[in-house]
Structures are given as structure tokens and as C-alpha cells.
Amino acid sequence: MKTDPDCVFCKIVAREIPAAELLEDDDAFAFLDIGPLTPGHTLLIPREHYTTVDEMPGDLLARVTQHLPLLVQAVQAATGCDGVNILQNNHRIAGQLVPHVHIHIIPRRPGDAWTFNWPASEYAEGEMGKMADRIYRELERRC
Ligand code: 5GP
Ligand code: ZN
């Protein structure tokens, strides 16, 4: 199993540094985020060190994310929140600070501290189809 001796989440999995642990199995580990956006902010990670989600084998990602429904139920019940955002950042441009894949579960309540901008735009005429074609061709190359 790949680990990175400099990675803070690998150290948490190895119990070299403490965390408020919530769940673990052979593939996955979950614990509270030390800097919560809202109380109960939880992180679900693969035990193995992968930097970004596109590096992960799909079946491993599936075994990690299979815990999401249960974790979300538990976080919602324990915090009394009204809903959650599930967020997964890849690379610095997308806000990733810890280079070990992690999925944020962020409890939400009316008036909580977290806001995010969602500046929805529109495709120019014909551009949506062209974009779908480009992505579809990349999918075909990989299948
Ligand atoms: P990112 O910005 O990479 O998506 O999120 C990294 C998250 O990891 C942040 O929300 C940050 O608070 C959390 N984090 C960073 N270091 C530690 C740590 O040592 N322990 C815990 N529990 N969370 C951490
Ligand atoms: Zn790691």
C-alpha cells in the first residue's frame, strides 16, 4: 500500500498523529476535520496515499465512497443539520491543500458561516455539443 511519510493524512491513518476517528475498514478512514467549516465537518479518505481522485482505481474509490450514505446519516443525526455538501477538491487550483484524496462532508444550517459562489454561465450556440464531443472522445480513448 502506497504511503507518503510527509503526508498528514497518511500519518493520521498510521495513528502517528491523533484524529477524532469516526470509521475505518481495510480501504477507508473517516475523521473530523480539524478546521471545520461548520461543526461536524467530516473527512472520508482512502487509507492508501493517492494525491487526486483521477489517480485512484475506480473500484477502490467505490469501496471508499460506499460509506457516504451511512456517514451522512450519522453526521446529519448527530449535528441536527438540515443537509450536507459533499466536496472533493483536486489540485491547488481547486482548493486542495492536503495532497491525499479526501471527501468533505459539510453539515449545513440556515445562516451558517460557509458561502460559496456558483456563477452559472451559458454555452454559446453549438458549444455544448462540441464540448460533449471532446469529452466523449477522451472517454473512448480510455475505454
Ligand atoms: P482541502 O483544502 O485540501 O480540500 O482540505 C484539507 C482539509 O484538511 C482542511 O479542511 C483542513 O482543515 C483539514 N486538515 C488539515 N490538516 C489536518 C489535520 O492534521 N487533522 C485533521 N483532522 N484535519 C486536517
Ligand atoms: Zn497520504
Q: Per-residue pLDDT tens for 67-89?
A: 999 999 999 999 999 999 999 99
Compute the distance between CA of residue 116 and CA of residue 118 in angstroms, rounded to an integer. Answer: 6
Q: Give the residue from 94, 82, 4, 93 showing the smallest Cα distance to 45.
A: 4
The radius of gyration of the chain from alpha carbons, rounded to an integer in Å, stands at 17
In a domain, 137, yes or no: no
CATH number at residue 33: 3.30.428.10
Mutate to test the pocket of ligand 1, among 10, 98, 101, 106 (most ligand atoms within 8 A of CB): 98
102 is catalytic: yes
Q: 103: number of CA atoms within 13 Å, CB side? A: 22
- Does residue 74 lie in a domain region? yes
When pLDDT is cut at 50, 70 and 90, the band that residue 95 belongs to is: very high
Looking at the 3D structure of the chain, how many domains does it have?
1
The secondary element (H helix, E strand) that includes residue 68 is helix 68-79
28: β partners: 46
8 lines ligand 1 (CB under 6 A): yes
Instruction: Tell me, yes or no, whether 138 lies in a domain.
Output: no
> Which tens digits make up the pLDDT trace of 106-139?
999 999 988 889 999 999 999 999 999 999 999 9
pTM for this entry: 0.97
Check pocket membership of 93 for ligand 1, CB cut-off 6 A: no
- For 8-41, the pLDDT digits (tens) are 999 999 999 999 999 999 999 999 999 999 999 9
Is the residue at 76 inside a domain? Answer: yes
Catalytic residue among 41, 100, 102, 104: 102
- Give residue 116's pLDDT: 83
**Is residue 56 situated within a structural domain?**
yes
pLDDT confidence tier of residue 44, bands split at 50, 70 and 90: very high
Note whether residue 20 is domain-resident.
yes
The confidence score (pLDDT) of residue 115 equals 87
From the list 62, 29, 55, 59, the residue with the least C-alpha distance to 44 is 29
Residue at 135 is within a domain: no
Question: Where in the sequence is the domain holding 107, given as residue range(s)?
Answer: 8-115
30 phi/psi in degrees, rounded to 5: -135, 145
Q: Is 136 helix (H, G, I), strand (E, B) or coil?
A: helix
Residue 140 lies in a domain: no
